[in-house]
C-alpha cells in the first residue's frame, strides 16, 4: 500500500463516521484500483498530456484482454468521443479471454460506473475536465458529486464541469432563430434530482433514459443495470450523483421541455448517502424519489428533513401484492410532508416504462412552470461546503490563486469596450504591427513605388520598418500584460495551466454576449450584400474579440520589442516553449495582421528544441478547409487535443500544437513529434465577401501547405462552392511544393458522409473530385507556366482509393441533445491509424527538425509574400542540399576525368613508342580509340549510378534538389561527350606528332648511320696502322673525320605557319562565302598589332536613331571584342609555351572560341566584324605559333642532336680501338641518354593530376568545394584587398581573373604547405621501381629461360626492356640505337651495371628535384593543367547575369537555369541610363520584382518590363535577395568606388540612397556571408 499517507491525509479531513467503516471503504477503493492496475496514479496523478502521446498502444484497437487494459482502452475511446466507450471496453466473456483472466481475482469486467469513479479518482484536474467534456459530448451523464471512498464524503465536480459549453434554443427564441450559448456551470438551469430508496425495484436510470430520449432514438444517458457493464454490483460508485442536461432545440414538436433542465441522479440507496441527499434537497428544484416502500429509518429521514428547497415527488412501484403496510408507510410520509396525490406517481402493473416517463415528464413540466428560482452550479458550491462536501476547485490552492490572478486581469478590463482596452493594454499587436506587416509585404511587391527609384524606395521602407520597430521597443509594459506575464511565468506549471484555463473561461464568457449580437448584425448585412458596412462590422468583430490568444500574441510582441532594448525578456520564449510542450496551442500565423512574429516563433521553437535535447524531428500535419466545417473538432477527436472549437469565433490564422511520439514509434516513423497546425478563418462564409479575403486565404493556405508533411483537406459537401476556392489554392500550393521538391501527402476528409458503403457508393463522387482536381491542376500549371503537368497525380502521389476518407456526421441526431455519432469517432480513429501507417511505409525524406523547420518556415513565408512564389523561393536548406550535391558531383567528375587522363597518358606513350609504318601506327590509334570509348562508357555509367544512388539517400534532403536531377544527368552526358572529344583530339595530336617525329627520327637515323659508317671506317684505318696511336692522335683523327662528315648534314625544314593558319581561317569562313573579305590579306603576321577598334557601320549597323543608344551598343560590342581578344591571347600564349611543335588543332580551337564570342553579339554585328576580329586574333596567333615552331625546330635540329652525341662516338671510337670493356659506360649511357629524359618527361607530364589531387585532398579543397563557396572566398578576398583595380579586373574579365587567381593560389599552396618535391619524388620512386622490375624481367627470353651471357643477349635485353616499358615511358629509340652502337658488353655484367646506374639515376634525379621544384615551371610543362581542371570545377558555365554581370553558380556546365547568390547594383557591370549616362544603382534582384523596364541591344532598345526578363533571358533565374542585407557587399563597393567606376566606364557616378552610406565593411562581409549561407 504505497498510498497510505494520502489515505491518512484524507481521513484527517474530519469525517464523523466510525473509523472501521472508513477503512473498509478506503480499502475497497484501493482494492478496486489495484485490480485495474491504477494505484500508482491515485490520487489525481494521471495527466491528459500523458494520454496524448502517440504510441503503439494508442494506435491499437485490439480487444481488451485484461482488467489492467480496460481503463486505458476506455480512456482512449472516451477521449476520441466514442459514444460506445462505456460499453465497448468490457472484457468479453468468451472462453478465449477467460483463461487470460484466470490469473486475476475477478473474472469479469467491472461495473462501468465503478470504472469511471476509479479513473476520476486518478485523473488530474485537466484530464478530469477533458473526460467530462467528452462524456458530455457523448451525452453521458457526468459525475456531479463524486464519492471519494469514504462514507458520506464526496466532492462537487465544479472544475470538471467547467469546460462544458452548451448551446440551446429555448422556445422563447424559436421565432428569432436565436440561441443561448452558456457554460454548463454558469447557466441558471433548474435541477431535477432522482434518488431511490434501498428496496426500490425500478431502475430509475432506465426510466430517465426513456424520459430523455427522443422517441425514435433511444440513448443511455445514464448507466443502468441492463446495460453492458452494468450488471456487476457496484463497488465504489454508490453515492455518486451524475448529471446531464436536457436542452431544447427550439422545435416545439420534438422538444421534451421548452427550457433547459438539468437532471441529477444519485446512485445507490439514498438512505446511505444522507449528505448527498441533503445537498440535493437544497439545490434541486424538484426531487423524485423512487421507492417500493418506506422502511422505518427512511420514514424518519424524510419526516425529519424539514428544510427542503425542492419539491418532493414519490415514484412508487406498486405491485398487486404490495401489502397495506407499505401503503400506510407511504401515507405517513406524505402526511408529514403535506404532499398531495399529485405529488405521487404510481407505477402500477399497467403502466409501462414509457408511460411512467411521460407521467414524470409532465410532473416536471408542471413543477418547473411554478417558476421557482434555479441555481447555477457555481453558486451551489457554497451550499456544498455547508454540507461538508468538498469542491474540487476550491480544494486546489493552485486553482484558487490562478483564478484570483485571472480575476484581477478581468477587473482591469472592467466594463470598458474591448477596442479601447486592447488599444491601451495590448498595444503592440495594434496598428504598428499591422503596418509593419504591410510594409514587409510591400518590400516584396514594390507596388507603390511611384516615381521613387526602387533602391531609394526600398531604403525608405527599411527606414519605416526601423522606425516602427523602434517605437515598438520603446513600449512600457502595461498593467494587464504585466499581470498576465507574471501569472504565466510562475514556476508552478499546474498553477499556470489553471490560470490559462481560467483566463480562457472568463474572457470567453465576457465576449460571448457582445459578439453574438455583432455576429447577428453581420449576418443581416451579409444578406444585403452591403460591402462597406460588412467590412465595418468585420472590423468591429475583430476589434471586440478578446481571447487568450490575444494575450499570448501580445506576449510574443513584447518579447520581440524587448530584443531592441537593453532588457531582453528571455524567459518569455521559455514559457511559451514549456506551454507547447505541455500541449497548449500557440499562434503561428497572426491572421488578423497576416503576419508571423518570426523572431518570437524562432526563439520559442529553438528553446523547445533545446528542451527536448535536440531530438525534434517533426511530422507536420495540417488541416485545411472552409471555416466551421469541423476541422478543429476533427483534430481534437483524432488526437485528444484542445484546439478552439466553436462556430462562434472570429479568429483567423494558424495555430500549432505539439504531440509527442512514444519511444516505440520514434524510430519507426523517424520522427519525434507531430506538429499539428490548425487553420482558422479560411473561406469563412462571412468573410468571403470581403475583397482581400482571397489573397489572405491564398497566403495562409500556401504557407501551411508548404510547412506540412501531411495535409488534410476537410471537405463538407454542403460547402462545395467555397471549397472549390480552397482546393484551387491547395492544388496550386502542391504544385509549388513539387517544384521545390517537397512532397506532402494529402488526404481528403469528406465530412458528413454516412453509411458503411459510402466508400463504394461514392466512387463516382471521388472520380468527380479528381476531375475537379485535374482541372485545377491545369489552371495552376498554366499560371506557373509549367508544361507537362496535366493531372493532379502529376503533382502529388495521390491514390483515389487511399487518400479519400469518409466521416459520418458528428452528431447522431439533432443537436443539442444528440450524442456524438459512434461512427464519427470510429472513422476518425481509422483515419488516424491509416494515416500514420502510410507515414511509416513512406520511404521518403527525413523529417525536418526544429531548426530546419524554422528555416523552411521563414523562406516559405517570404516566398508567399511575393507575387511569384517559385521564382522568389530561397532557402538555405535547399541551397545546402544543392551545394552538397554539387560537391559530390565535382568529385565524381574529377574521378572520371582522372581515370581518362591517366589512360590517355599511357595511350600517348604507346603511340609515341609505336614501331613500324605510319599505317601500323594508325592502326594502333584506331584500337586506342575503341578502347577509349569503352573506358568512357564505363565511367559514364559509374557516374550515373553514383547520381542515382545519391538521390536514394535518406540522410540528405535529396527531394529538395530533385528538380536539378535532370540537369546533372545532362551534365554527365556532356562530360562524356567532352571527354570523347578530348581523347580523340589528343590521340590525333599524338598520331600527328608521331608522324612528324618519325620523319625527324628517320633523318636522324640516316645521319647517325653515316657518322657510324665513318667512325668504323676510321677505326679500320687506325687499326691498320702499325704504330700504337695515343689518345691525342685518335682524337685528332676523329675530329677531322667529324668535320668532313657533318658538312653533309642537313637541318629540318621550317613550315610556313602563317599560311597554314590562314588556310584554317579560310576554311572556317569558307562555308559562309566570306572569302572576298579575305582577298586582300597578304601577310597574317601583320594583323593584330594595334588596338582593335569597333567601328559603326563597318562592324555593325543599328536601326537605333538615338545617339546614346548607338554609343551604348558600340561600347557593348567593343567590350565583347576586348574580352575575346584578351582571353584568346591568353589561350595562344598558353599553347605557345608548350615544348612541342605547332599543330593545326590549336588554331581550330582558337577559332572555335572566337566564334563563341561572336555568337553572343550575333544579331548586332555584321560579317566584317567577324572577319576583322578573326584576322586580328589569328594575326597574334601566327606570330606566336611561328615562334613556337621555330623553337621546336631549334630544339630538334639534327646537327645539334648529332653534336650532342659527339662525345660518345669519340669514346666508342677510342674504346673500340683499345678493345676496352665498354660495359659500364654503355650501361651508363643507356640510363643517362635514354632513360633519364624519358623518366623526367614522365614525371613532369603526369604530375598534373597528382597536383590536383594534392590540392583537393588538402585543406585548400574548401576553396574549390563549390562554386558558391569559391565566389564567397574571392569576394571576401577582394574586400580585404581594397584595391579598385582588382574589382575592375574581377568584374570586367571574370574568366581571366579566376584563372589567374587559381594559378596564383596553386603557386601559393605549393610554396607554403604543399610540397611539389614530395609529389615528384613519389612519382620517381614509383617509376624507378617499375624500371627495376622491368630490367629484372628482361633477363629472361621469350621461353622463360635466362638469356645467355653474350653480346647478342645484351641487345635482346634492351629490346625486352623497351617493350616492357612501352606503355609507361617514352624511350627515344634512335638514341637507344646510337648508344648501343658497336656494343660489345656481355649480358650479365651489363645488367648488373644497368641496375647500378639506375640507382645512380634515382639519386641524381632526387637531387635535381630537390634543387629545382619550381611550381610555375612545372605547371607549364604538365599535360593535365591543374589550373584548368580547378578552373573548370569552379567556373561552371561562365555565364554572367545579363544585368549586373554576377557569374552563374549553378552546378555543372549544362543546366536549365543560371543563378547567382548575390547580384549587384547594375552600374557595377557598366549598366547606365542611355539618356543620362548615369550608372544604374539598382540591384537587378529589385528590378525584376518591381514595375520598371529595361532596354538594351537585346531588346533592340525597346522598353521591356523587368518582370518579364524571362522573355529575353529565359535561362536566368533571379530570385529576390533573401534579406535586404544580402547585397550590402556590392552596395558598399559601389559607394566606395562610385567615382572610379564612373571614370572606368566613362559614365557619370551612380546616385544611390543615402542609407547606403552607412554600410560599413563589416556589414558588407556579413551580408556576403548570409547570402552565401556561410556561418
Contact positions toward ligand GDP, by CB under 6 A? Answer: 625, 627-633, 645-647, 751-752, 809-811
The reply to whether 1489 sits near Zn ion by the rule CB under 5 A is no
Q: Give the C-alpha distances (Å, rounded to integers) separating 189 from 173, 260, 261, 444, 753.
A: 16, 6, 6, 56, 35
Least distance in Å: CB of 654 to Mg ion? 10
Q: Considering beta carbons, is residue 36 or 886 the nearer one to Zn ion?
A: 886
Residue 1460 phi, psi dihedral angles, 5° rounding: -135, 145
Question: Which span (236-244, 629-637, 790-798, 1159-1167) binds Mg ion, by CB under 5 A?
Answer: 629-637
Q: How far apart are CA 187 and CA 643, in angstroms?
A: 23
The reply to whether 1439 sits near Zn ion by the rule CB under 5 A is yes
For the record, the C-alpha cell of 971 comes out as 551534365
- Which candidate, 185, 186, 188, places its Cα nearest to that of 160? 185
Q: Which does 1441 bind (CB under 5 to 8 A by kind): ligand GDP, Mg ion, Zn ion, none?
A: Zn ion
Least distance in Å: CB of 1463 to Zn ion? 3
Q: Considering beta carbons, is residue 826 or 1113 the nearer one to ligand GDP?
A: 826
DSSP reduced 3-state for 769: helix
Burial of 1520 (0-12, 13-18, 19+ CB in 10 A): buried
Largest CA distance in the chain: 177
Q: Considering beta carbons, is residue 816 or 1451 the nearer one to ligand GDP?
A: 816
Least distance in Å: CB of 714 to Mg ion? 10
Q: How far apart are CA 1289 and CA 160, in angstroms?
A: 77
Q: Considering beta carbons, is residue 646 or 981 the nearer one to ligand GDP?
A: 646
Site residues (CB under 5 A) for Mg ion, limited to 1068-1127 = none
For the record, the C-alpha cell of 1565 comes out as 562581409
Site size toward Mg ion, by CB under 5 A? 2
Q: Considering beta carbons, is residue 751 or 1182 the nearer one to ligand GDP?
A: 751
Least distance in Å: CB of 647 to ligand GDP? 5
Site residues (CB under 5 A) for Mg ion, limited to 673-702 = 680
Contacts of 1076 (CB under 8 A, 6+ apart): none
Q: Which does 1448 bind (CB under 5 to 8 A by kind): Zn ion, Mg ion, ligand GDP, none?
A: Zn ion
Least distance in Å: CB of 818 to ligand GDP? 9
Q: Which does 977 bind (CB under 5 to 8 A by kind): ligand GDP, Zn ion, Mg ion, none?
A: none
Q: Tell me the residue number closest to ligand GDP, measured at CB.
A: 630
Q: Considering beta carbons, is residue 650 or 879 the nearer one to Zn ion?
A: 879
Q: Considering beta carbons, is residue 203 or 633 the nearer one to Mg ion?
A: 633
Whether the ω angle into residue 43 lies within 30 degrees of 0, i.e. cis, is yes
Q: Considering beta carbons, is residue 209 or 752 the nearer one to Mg ion?
A: 752
Least distance in Å: CB of 1441 to Zn ion? 3
Q: Considering beta carbons, is residue 646 or 1160 the nearer one to Mg ion?
A: 646
Kindly tell me which residue out of 501, 550, 858, 1463 binds Zn ion, with binding defined by CB under 5 A.
Answer: 1463
Q: Considering beta carbons, is residue 752 or 1354 the nearer one to ligand GDP?
A: 752
Least distance in Å: CB of 80 to ligand GDP? 14
Which string of DSSP letters, residue by residue, matches 1020-1076?
Answer: HHHHHSSSPPPHHHHHHHHHHHHHHHHTT---PPPP-HHHHHHHHHHHHHHTTT-HH
Q: Which does 630 bind (CB under 5 to 8 A by kind): ligand GDP, Zn ion, Mg ion, none?
A: ligand GDP
Q: Which does 809 bind (CB under 5 to 8 A by kind): Mg ion, Zn ion, ligand GDP, none?
A: ligand GDP
Q: Which does 627 bind (CB under 5 to 8 A by kind): ligand GDP, Zn ion, Mg ion, none?
A: ligand GDP
Least distance in Å: CB of 811 to ligand GDP? 5
- Which candidate, 189, 190, 187, places its Cα nearest to that of 513? 187
- Which candidate, 846, 643, 641, 759, places its Cα nearest to that of 58? 641
Q: Give the C-alpha distances (Å, rounded to integers) separating 953 from 320, 845, 950, 1108.
A: 84, 8, 5, 56
Residue 475 DSSP code: P
The reply to whether 1441 sits near Zn ion by the rule CB under 5 A is yes
Kindly tell me which residue out of 1458, 1472, 1489, 1497 binds Zn ion, with binding defined by CB under 5 A.
Answer: 1458
Q: Tell me the residue number closest to Mg ion, measured at CB.
A: 632
For the record, the C-alpha cell of 99 comes out as 483463461
Q: Considering beta carbons, is residue 616 or 632 the nearer one to Mg ion?
A: 632
Q: Considering beta carbons, is residue 716 or 879 the nearer one to ligand GDP?
A: 716
Least distance in Å: CB of 553 to Mg ion? 17
Site residues (CB under 5 A) for Zn ion, limited to 276-335 = none
DSSP-H helix ranges across 844-917: 850-865, 869-872, 876-913
Q: Which does 810 bind (CB under 5 to 8 A by kind): Zn ion, ligand GDP, Mg ion, none?
A: ligand GDP
Least distance in Å: CB of 623 to Mg ion? 8
Q: How far is CA 1151 from the centre of its chain?
A: 47
Least distance in Å: CB of 201 to ligand GDP? 40
**Total H helices, total E strands in the chain:** 61, 20
The reply to whether 1302 sits near Zn ion by the rule CB under 5 A is no
Q: Considering beta carbons, is residue 1212 or 1521 the nearer one to Zn ion?
A: 1521
Neighbours of 828 (CB within 10 A): 25
Q: Which does 647 bind (CB under 5 to 8 A by kind): ligand GDP, Mg ion, Zn ion, none?
A: ligand GDP
The reply to whether 623 sits near Zn ion by the rule CB under 5 A is no
- Which candidate, 287, 445, 464, places its Cα nearest to that of 360? 287
Whether the ω angle into residue 1239 lies within 30 degrees of 0, i.e. cis, is no
Task: Give the neighbor-by-neighbor strand order of the sheet with 311-317.
Answer: 344-347, 311-317, 286-291, 191-196, 261-269, 241-246, 142-147, 154-156, 390-391
For the record, the C-alpha cell of 445 comes out as 511587391
Least distance in Å: CB of 645 to Zn ion? 50
Neighbours of 1204 (CB within 10 A): 11
Least distance in Å: CB of 496 to Mg ion? 24
DSSP reduced 3-state for 492: coil
Q: Give the C-alpha distances (Å, rounded to integers) separating 577 from 145, 599, 602, 643.
A: 36, 14, 11, 17
Least distance in Å: CB of 641 to ligand GDP? 12
Q: How far apart are CA 280 and CA 268, in angstroms?
A: 14
Q: Considering beta carbons, is residue 826 or 961 the nearer one to ligand GDP?
A: 826
Q: Which does 752 bind (CB under 5 to 8 A by kind): Mg ion, Zn ion, ligand GDP, none?
A: ligand GDP
Question: 641 near 657, Cβ under 8 Å?
Answer: yes
The reply to whether 632 sits near Mg ion by the rule CB under 5 A is yes
Site residues (CB under 5 A) for Zn ion, limited to 366-385 = none
Kindly tell me which residue out of 280, 375, 1278, 1448 binds Zn ion, with binding defined by CB under 5 A.
Answer: 1448
Q: Which does 628 bind (CB under 5 to 8 A by kind): ligand GDP, Mg ion, Zn ion, none?
A: ligand GDP
The reply to whether 633 sits near Mg ion by the rule CB under 5 A is no
Contacts of 668 (CB under 8 A, 6+ apart): 840
Which string of DSSP letters, residue by residue, matches 242-311?
Answer: EEEEE---S-TTT-SSSS-EEEEEEEEEGGG-HHHHHHHHHH-SEEEEEES---HHHHHHHHH----SSE
Kindly tell me which residue out of 122, 197, 552, 1444 binds Zn ion, with binding defined by CB under 5 A.
Answer: 1444
The CB-side HSE value for 1421 (13 A sphere, CA atoms) comes to 15
Q: Considering beta carbons, is residue 1158 or 1437 the nearer one to Zn ion?
A: 1437
Q: Which does 1450 bind (CB under 5 to 8 A by kind): ligand GDP, Mg ion, Zn ion, none?
A: Zn ion
The site for Mg ion (CB under 5 A) is made up of 632, 680
The site for Zn ion (CB under 5 A) is made up of 1437, 1439, 1441, 1443-1444, 1446, 1448, 1450, 1458, 1463, 1484
Amino acid at each position: 500500500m504505497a498510498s497510505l499517507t494520502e489515505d491518512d491525509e484524507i481521513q484527517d479531513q474530519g469525517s464523523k463516521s466510525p473509523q472501521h467503516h472508513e477503512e473498509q471503504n478506503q480499502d475497497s477503493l484501493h482494492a478496486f484500483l489495484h485490480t485495474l492496475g491504477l494505484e500508482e496514479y491515485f490520487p489525481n496523478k494521471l495527466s491528459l498530456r500523458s494520454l496524448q502521446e502517440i504510441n503503439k498502444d494508442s494506435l491499437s484497437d485490439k480487444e481488451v484482454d485484461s482488467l489492467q487494459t480496460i481503463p486505458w482502452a476506455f480512456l482512449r475511446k472516451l477521449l476520441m468521443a466514442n459514444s460506445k466507450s462505456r460499453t465497448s471496453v468490457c472484457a468479453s466473456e468468451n472462453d478465449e479471454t477467460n483463461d487470460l483472466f484466470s490469473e486475476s481475482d475477478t473474472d469479469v469486467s467491472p461495473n462501468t460506473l465503478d470504472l469511471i469513479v476509479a479513473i476520476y479518482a486518478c485523473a488530474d484536474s485537466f484530464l478530469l475536465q477533458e473526460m467530462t467534456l467528452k462524456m458530455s459530448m457523448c451525452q453521458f451523464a457526468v459525475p456531479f458529486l463524486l464519492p471519494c471512498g469514504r462514507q458520506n464524503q464526496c466532492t462537487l465536480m465544479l472544475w470538471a464541469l467547467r469546460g462544458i459549453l452548451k448551446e440551446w434554443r429555448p422556445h422563447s427564441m424559436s421565432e428569432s432563430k436565436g440561441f443561448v450559448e452558456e457554460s454548463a456551470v454558469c447557466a441558471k438551469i433548474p435541477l431535477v434530482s432522482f434518488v431511490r430508496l434501498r428496496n426500490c425495484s425500478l431502475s430509475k436510470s432506465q426510466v430517465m433514459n426513456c424520459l430523455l430520449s427522443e422517441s425514435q432514438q433511444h440513448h443511455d444517458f445514464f448507466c443502468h443495470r441492463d446495460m453492458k457493464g452494468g450488471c456487476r454490483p457496484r463497488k465504489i460508485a454508490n453515492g455518486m450523483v451524475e448529471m446531464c442536461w436536457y436542452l431544447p432545440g427550439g422545435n416545439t414538436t420534438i422538444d421534451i421541455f421548452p427550457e433547459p433542465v438539468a437532471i441529477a441522479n444519485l446512485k445507490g440507496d439514498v438512505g446511505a448517502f444522507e449528505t448527498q441527499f441533503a445537498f440535493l434537497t437544497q439545490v434541486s428544484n424538484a426531487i423524485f424519489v423512487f421507492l417500493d416502500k418506506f422502511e422505518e429509518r427512511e420514514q424518519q429521514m424524510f419526516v425529519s428533513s424539514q428544510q427542503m428547497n425542492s419539491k418532493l415527488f414519490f415514484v412508487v412501484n406498486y405491485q398487486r401484492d404490495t401489502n397495506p403496510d407499505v401503503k400506510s408507510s407511504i401515507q405517513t410520509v406524505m402526511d408529514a410532508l403535506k404532499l398531495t396525490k399529485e405529488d405521487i406517481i404510481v407505477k402500477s402493473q399497467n403502466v409501462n416504462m414509457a408511460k411512467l416517463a411521460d407521467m414524470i415528464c409532465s410532473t416536471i413540466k408542471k413543477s418547473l412552470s411554478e417558476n421557482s428560482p434555479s441555481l447555477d452550479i457555481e453558486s451551489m458550491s457554497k451550499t456544498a461546503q455547508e454540507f461538508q462536501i468538498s469542491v474540487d476547485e476550491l480544494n486546489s490552492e493552485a486553482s484558487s490563486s490562478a483564478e484570483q490572478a485571472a480575476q484581477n486581469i478581468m477587473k482591469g478590463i472592467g466594463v470598458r469596450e474591448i477596442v479601447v482596452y486592447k488599444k491601451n493594454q495590448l498595444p503592440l499587436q495594434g496598428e504598428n504591427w499591422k503596418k509593419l506587416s504591410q510594409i514587409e509585404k510591400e518590400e516584396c511587391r514594390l507596388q507603390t513605388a511611384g516615381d521613387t527609384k526602387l533602391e531609394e524606395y526600398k531604403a525608405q521602407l527599411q527606414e519605416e520598418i526601423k522606425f516602427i520597430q523602434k517605437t515598438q521597443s520603446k513600449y512600457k509594459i502595461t498593467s494587464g500584460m504585466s499581470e498576465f506575464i507574471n501569472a504565466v511565468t510562475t514556476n508552478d506549471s499546474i498553477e499556470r495551466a489553471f490560470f490559462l484555463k481560467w483566463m480562457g473561461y472568463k474572457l470567453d464568457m465576457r465576449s460571448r454576449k457582445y459578439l453574438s449580437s455583432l455576429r447577428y448584425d453581420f449576418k443581416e448585412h451579409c444578406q444585403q450584400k452591403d460591402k462597406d458596412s460588412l467590412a465595418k462590422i468585420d472590423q468591429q468583430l475583430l476589434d471586440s474579440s478578446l481571447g487568450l490568444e490575444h494575450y499570448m500574441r501580445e506576449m510574443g510582441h513584447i518579447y520581440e520589442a524587448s530584443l531592441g532594448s537593453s532588457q531582453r525578456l528571455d524567459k518569455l520564449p521559455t514559457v511559451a516553449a514549456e506551454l507547447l510542450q505541455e500541449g497548449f496551442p500557440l499562434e503561428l500565423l497572426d491572421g488578423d495582421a497576416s503576419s508571423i512574429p518570426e523572431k518570437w516563433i524562432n526563439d520559442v521553437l529553438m528553446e523547445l528544441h533545446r528542451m527536448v535535447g535536440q531530438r525534434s524531428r517533426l511530422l507536420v500535419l495540417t488541416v485545411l478547409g472552409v471555416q466551421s466545417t469541423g476541422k478543429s473538432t476533427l483534430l481534437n477527436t483524432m488526437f485528444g487535443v484542445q484546439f478552439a472549437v466553436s462556430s462562434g469565433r472570429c479568429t483567423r490564422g494558424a495555430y500549432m500544437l505539439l504531440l509527442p511520439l512514444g519511444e516505440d514509434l520514434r524510430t519507426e516513423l523517424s520522427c519525434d513529434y507531430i506538429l499539428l497546425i490548425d487553420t482558422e478563418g479560411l473561406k469563412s462564409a462571412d468573410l468571403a465577401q470581403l475583397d482581400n479575403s482571397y489573397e489572405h486565404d491564398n497566403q495562409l493556405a500556401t504557407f501551411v501547405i508548404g510547412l506540412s508533411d501531411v495535409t488534410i483537406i476537410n471537405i463538407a459537401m454542403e460547402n462545395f462552392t467555397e471549397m472549390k476556392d480552397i482546393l484551387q489554392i491547395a492544388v496550386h500550393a502542391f504544385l509549388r511544393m513539387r517544384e521545390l521538391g517537397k512532397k506532402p501527402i494529402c488526404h481528403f476528409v469528406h465530412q458528413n458522409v454516412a453509411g458503411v458503403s459510402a466508400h463504394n457508393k461514392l466512387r463516382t463522387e471521388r472520380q468527380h473530385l479528381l476531375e475537379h482536381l485535374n482541372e485545377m491542376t491545369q489552371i495552376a500549371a498554366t499560371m506557373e507556366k509549367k508544361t507537362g503537368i496535366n493531372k493532379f497525380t502529376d503533382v502529388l502521389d495521390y491514390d483515389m482509393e487511399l487518400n479519400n476518407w469518409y466521416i459520418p456526421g458528428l452528431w447522431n441526431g439533432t443537436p443539442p441533445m444528440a450524442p456524438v455519432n459512434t461512427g464519427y469517432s470510429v472513422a476518425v480513429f481509422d483515419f488516424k491509424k491509416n494515416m500514420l501507417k502510410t507515414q511509416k511505409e513512406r520511404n521518403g525524406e527525413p523529417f525536418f527538425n526544429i531548426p530546419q523547420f524554422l528555416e523552411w518556415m521563414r523562406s516559405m513565408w517570404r516566398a508567399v509574400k511575393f507575387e511569384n512564389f517559385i521564382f522568389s523561393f530561397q532557402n538555405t536548406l535547399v541551397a545546402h542540399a544543392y551545394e552538397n550535391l554539387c560537391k559530390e558531383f565535382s568529385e565524381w567528375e574529377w574521378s572520371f576525368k582522372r581515370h581518362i587522363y591517366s589512360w590517355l597518358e599511357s595511350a600517348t606513350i604507346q603511340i609515341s613508342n609505336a614501331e613500324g609504318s605510319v599505317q601500323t601506327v594508325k592502326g594502333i590509334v584506331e584500337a586506342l580509340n575503341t578502347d577509349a570509348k569503352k573506358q568512357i562508357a564505363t565511367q559514364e555509367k559509374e557516374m550515373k549510378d553514383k547520381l542515382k544512388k545519391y538521390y536514394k539517400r535518406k540522410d540528405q534532403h535529396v527531394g529538395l534538389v530533385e528538380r536539378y536531377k535532370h540537369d546533372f544527368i545532362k551534365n554527365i552526358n556532356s562530360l562524356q561527350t567532352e571527354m570523347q572529344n578530348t581523347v580523340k583530339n589528343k590521340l590525333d595530336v599524338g598520331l600527328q606528332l608521331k608522324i612528324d617525329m618519325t620523319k625527324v627520327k628517320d633523318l636522324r637515323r640516316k645521319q647517325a648511320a653515316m657518322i657510324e659508317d665513318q667512325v668504323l671506317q676510321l677505326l679500320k684505318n687506325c687499326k691498320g696502322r702499325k704504330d700504337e696511336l695515343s689518345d691525342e692522335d685518335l682524337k685528332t683523327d676523329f675530329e677531322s673525320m667529324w668535320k668532313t662528315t657533318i658538312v653533309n648534314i642537313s637541318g629540318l625544314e621550317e613550315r610556313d605557319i602563317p599560311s597554314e593558319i590562314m588556310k584554317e581561317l579560310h576554311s572556317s569562313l569558307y562555308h559562309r562565302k566570306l572569302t572576298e573579305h579575305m582577298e586582300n590579306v597578304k601577310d597574317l603576321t601583320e594583323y593584330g598589332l594595334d588596338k582593335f577598334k569597333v567601328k559603326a557601320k563597318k562592324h555593325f549597323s543599328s536601326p537605333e536613331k538615338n545617339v546614346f543608344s548607338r554609343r551604348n551598343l558600340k561600347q557593348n560590342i567593343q567590350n565583347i571584342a576586348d574580352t575575346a581578344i584578351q582571353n584568346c591571347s591568353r589561350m595562344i600564349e598558353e599553347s605557345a609555351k608548350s615544348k612541342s611543335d605547332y599543330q593545326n588543332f590549336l588554331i581550330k580551337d582558337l577559332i572555335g572560341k572566337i566564334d563563341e564570342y561572336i555568337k553572343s553579339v550575333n544579331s548586332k554585328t555584321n560579317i566584317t566584324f567577324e572577319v576583322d576580329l578573326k584576322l586580328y586574333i589569328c594575326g597574334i596567333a601566327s606570330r606566336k605559333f611561328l615562334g613556337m615552331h621555330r623553337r621546336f625546330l631549334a630544339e630538334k635540329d639534327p646537327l645539334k642532336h648529332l653534336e650532342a652525341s659527339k662525345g660518345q662516338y669519340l669514346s666508342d671510337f677510342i674504346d673500340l680501338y683499345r678493345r676496352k670493356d665498354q660495359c659500364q659506360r654503355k650501361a651508363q649511357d643507356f640510363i643517362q641518354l635514354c632513360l633519364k629524359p624519358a623518366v623526367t618527361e614522365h614525371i613532369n607530364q603526369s604530375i598534373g593530376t597528382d597536383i590536383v589531387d594534392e590540392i583537393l585532398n588538402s585543406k585548400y579543397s574548401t576553396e574549390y568545394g563549390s562554386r558558391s563557396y569559391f565566389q564567397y572566398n574571392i569576394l571576401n578576398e577582394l574586400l580585404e584587398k581594397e584595391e579598385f583595380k582588382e574589382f575592375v579586373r574581377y568584374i570586367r574579365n571574370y574568366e581571366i581573373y579566376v584563372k589567374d587567381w587559381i594559378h596564383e593560389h596553386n603557386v601559393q599552396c605549393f610554396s607554403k604547405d604543399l610540397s611539389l618535391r614530395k609529389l615528384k619524388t613519389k612519382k620517381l620512386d614509383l617509376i624507378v621501381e617499375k624500371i627495376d622490375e622491368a630490367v629484372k624481367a628482361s633477363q629472361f627470353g621469350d621461353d622463360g629461360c635466362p638469356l645467355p651471357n653474350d653480346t647478342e643477349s645484351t641487345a635482346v635485353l634492351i629490346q625486352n626492356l623497351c617493350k616492357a616499358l612501352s606503355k609507361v615511358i617514352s624511350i627515344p629509340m634512335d638514341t637507344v640505337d646510337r648508344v648501343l652502337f658497336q656494343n660489345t658488353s656481355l649480358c650479365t655484367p651489363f645488367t648488373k651495371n644497368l641496375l647500378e646506374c639506375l640507382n645512380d639515376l634515382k639519386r641524381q634525379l632526387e637531387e635535381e628535384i630537390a634543387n629545382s621544384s619550381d611550381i610555375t615551371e612545372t605547371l607549364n610543362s604538365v599535360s593535365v593543367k591543374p589550373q584548368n581542371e580547378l578552373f573548370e570545377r569552379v567556373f561552371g558555365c561562365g555565364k554572367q547575369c545579363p544585368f549586373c554581370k554576377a557569374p552563374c553558380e549553378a552546378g555543372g556546365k549544362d543546366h536549365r537555369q543560371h543563378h547567382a547568390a548575390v547580384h549587384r547594383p547594375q552600374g557595377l557591370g557598366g549598366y547606365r541610363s542611355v539618356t543620362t549616362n548615369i550608372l544604374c544603382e539598382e540591384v537587378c534582384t529589385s528590378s525584376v520584382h518591381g514595375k520598371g523596364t529595361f532596354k538594351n541591344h537585346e531588346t533592340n532598345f525597346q522598353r521591356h518590363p523587368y518582370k518579364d526578363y524571362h522573355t529575353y533571358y529565359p535561362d536566368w533565374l533571379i530570385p529576390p535577395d533573401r534579406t535586404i542585407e544580402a547585397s550590402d557587399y556590392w552596395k558598399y563597393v559601389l559607394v566606395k568606388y562610385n567615382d572610379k567606376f564612373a571614370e572606368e566606364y566613362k559614365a557619370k557616378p551612380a546616385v544611390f540612397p543615402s542609407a547606403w552610406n552607412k554600410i560599413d565593411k563589416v556589414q558588407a562581409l556579413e551580408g556576403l556571408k548570409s547570402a552565401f549561407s556561410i556561418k
